[in-house]
Structure 1
Amino acid sequence: MPSNVIVGLQWGDEGKGKITDFLSKNSDYVIRYQGGNNSGHSIHIENNYFILHLIPSGIVYPNVKCIIGPGMVVDPKFLIKELINLKSMGINVDNIFIAKRSHIIMPYHILLDKYKEEYLGKNFIGTTNKGIGPAYEDKISRIGIRMLDFFYPDIFYKKLKNNIELKNIIFKKIYKKPTISVEIIYKKYMEYAKILSSRIIDAVYEIHIALNKNKRILFEGAQAMLLDIDYGTYPFVTTSSSTTGGVCVGSGIPPVGFDNFFGVIKSYCTRVGNGPFPTEIIKTKLVNYLRNKGNEYGSTTKRPRRCGWLDLVAIKYSCKINGINYLIMTKLDVLNGLNYIKICIKYEIDGLEVNYFTPDIGNNKINCIYKKFKGWNQNICDIKEYENLPINCKKYINFIEEYIGLKIILISIGSERNKNIIKYKHLFYKIFSSEKI
Structure 2
Amino acid sequence: MPALVLLGAQWGDEGKGKATDLLGGSVDYVVRYQGGNNAGHTVVVGDQKYALHLLPSGILSPGCTPVIGNGVVIDPSVLFSELNGLNERGVDTSKLLISGNAHIITPYNVTVDKVTERFLGKRKIGTTGRGIGPTYADKINRVGIRIQDLYDESILEQKVEAALDGKNQLLTKVFNRRAIEVGQVVEELLSYADRLKPYVADTVLVLNQALEDDKVVLFEGGQGTLLDIDHGTYPFVTSSNPTAGGACTGAGVGPTKISRVIGILKAYTTRVGSGPFPTELLDADGEALRRIGGERGVTTGRDRRCGWFDAVIARYATRVNGLTDFFLTKLDVLTGWEEIPVCVAYEIDGKRVEELPYSQTDFHHAKPIYENLPGWSEDITKAKSFSDLPKNAQDYVKALEEMSGAPISAIGVGPGRDETIEINSFL
Query: Residue in 1 aligned with 2:381?
Result: 381
Q: Which amino acid aligns with 2:325?
A: Y
Identity of aligned residues (%): 42
- The alignment covers a number of residue pairs equal to 426
Aligned-partner Cα distance in 2 for 1:215–1:169:
49
Q: Which amino acid aligns with 2:257?
A: G
Aligned-partner Cα distance in 1 for 2:327–2:35:
22
DSSP-derived class of the 1:317 partner: helix
Give the drift of 1:362. Answer: 4.3
Aligned-partner Cα distance in 1 for 2:242–2:406:
21
Query: Residue in 2 aligned with 1:410?
Result: 410
Give the drift of 1:361. Answer: 4.0
Query: Residue in 2 aligned with 1:357?
Result: 356
Aligned 8 A contact 2:318 2:406 in 1: no
Correspondence 1:24-39 to 2 at 5 A? 24-39=24-39
Deviation string, structure 1 residues 336-394 (Cα, Å, up to 9, x no partner): 11121111111110011111001224454212111101211111001111112111111
DSSP-derived class of the 1:51 partner: strand
Q: Which amino acid aligns with 2:330?
A: K
Deviation string, structure 1 residues 205-225 (Cα, Å, up to 9, x no partner): 111111111111000011110
Question: Is structure 2 residue 9 aligned with structure 1 residue 16?
Answer: no
Deviation string, structure 1 residues 130-157 (Cα, Å, up to 9, x no partner): 0000000000001101011111111111
Query: Residue in 1 aligned with 2:318?
Result: 319
Q: Which amino acid aligns with 1:419?
A: E
Aligned-partner Cα distance in 1 for 2:317–2:88:
39
Deviation string, structure 1 residues 247-297 (Cα, Å, up to 9, x no partner): 1110111110100000110000001000010111121x2112111111100
DSSP-derived class of the 2:223 partner: coil
Query: Residue in 1 aligned with 2:90?
Result: 90
Q: Which amino acid aligns with 1:205?
A: L
Aligned 8 A contact 1:338 1:376 in 2: yes
Q: Which amino acid aligns with 2:143?
A: I
Aligned-partner Cα distance in 2 for 1:339–1:146:
53
Give the drift of 1:56. Answer: 0.4
Give the drift of 1:163. Answer: 1.4
Correspondence 1:67-146 to 2 at 5 A? 67-146=67-146
Aligned-partner Cα distance in 2 for 1:140–1:417:
39
Q: Which amino acid aligns with 1:77?
A: S
Aligned 8 A contact 1:150 1:197 in 2: no
Aligned 8 A contact 1:413 1:421 in 2: yes
Aligned 8 A contact 1:62 1:95 in 2: no
Give the drift of 1:127. Answer: 0.3
Aligned 8 A contact 2:280 2:286 in 1: no
Q: Which amino acid aligns with 1:11?
A: W
Query: Residue in 2 aligned with 1:298?
Result: 297
Structure 2, unaligned stretches of length 5 or more? Answer: none
DSSP-derived class of the 1:239 partner: coil
Aligned 8 A contact 2:109 2:131 in 1: yes
Q: Which amino acid aligns with 1:250?
A: G
Aligned-partner Cα distance in 2 for 1:200–1:360:
42
Q: Which amino acid aligns with 1:61?
A: S
Deviation string, structure 1 residues 282-341 (Cα, Å, up to 9, x no partner): 21x211211111110000011000000100011101100000001110000000111211
Query: Residue in 2 aligned with 1:435?
Result: none
What TM-score, normalized to structure 1?
Answer: 0.96
Aligned 8 A contact 1:233 1:359 in 2: no
Query: Residue in 1 aligned with 2:288?
Result: 289
Q: What's the C-alpha RMSD, in Å, of the aligned pairs?
A: 1.0
Deviation string, structure 1 residues 55-97 (Cα, Å, up to 9, x no partner): 1010111221111000010001110111111100100010111
Aligned 8 A contact 2:25 2:62 in 1: no
Correspondence 1:389-428 to 2 at 5 A? 389-424=389-424, 428=425
Deviation string, structure 1 residues 184-204 (Cα, Å, up to 9, x no partner): 221121111111111111111
Give the drift of 1:237. Answer: 0.2
What TM-score, normalized to structure 2?
Answer: 0.98
Aligned-partner Cα distance in 2 for 1:129–1:214:
40
Query: Residue in 1 aligned with 2:204?
Result: 204
DSSP-derived class of the 1:55 partner: coil
Aligned-partner Cα distance in 2 for 1:339–1:116:
46
Aligned-partner Cα distance in 1 for 2:290–2:360:
25
Correspondence 1:156-195 to 2 at 5 A? 156-195=156-195
Aligned-partner Cα distance in 2 for 1:299–1:395:
31
Which 10-residue stretch deviates more, 323-332 or 383-392?
383-392
Structure 1, unaligned stretches of length 5 or more? Answer: 433-437
Query: Residue in 1 aligned with 2:7?
Result: 7
Give the drift of 1:180. Answer: 1.5
Aligned-partner Cα distance in 2 for 1:325–1:331:
20
Correspondence 1:338-349 to 2 at 5 A? 338-349=337-348
Aligned-partner Cα distance in 1 for 2:366–2:169:
43
Aligned 8 A contact 2:234 2:360 in 1: no
Query: Residue in 2 aligned with 1:248?
Result: 248
Give the drift of 1:30. Answer: 0.3
Q: Which amino acid aligns with 1:213?
A: D
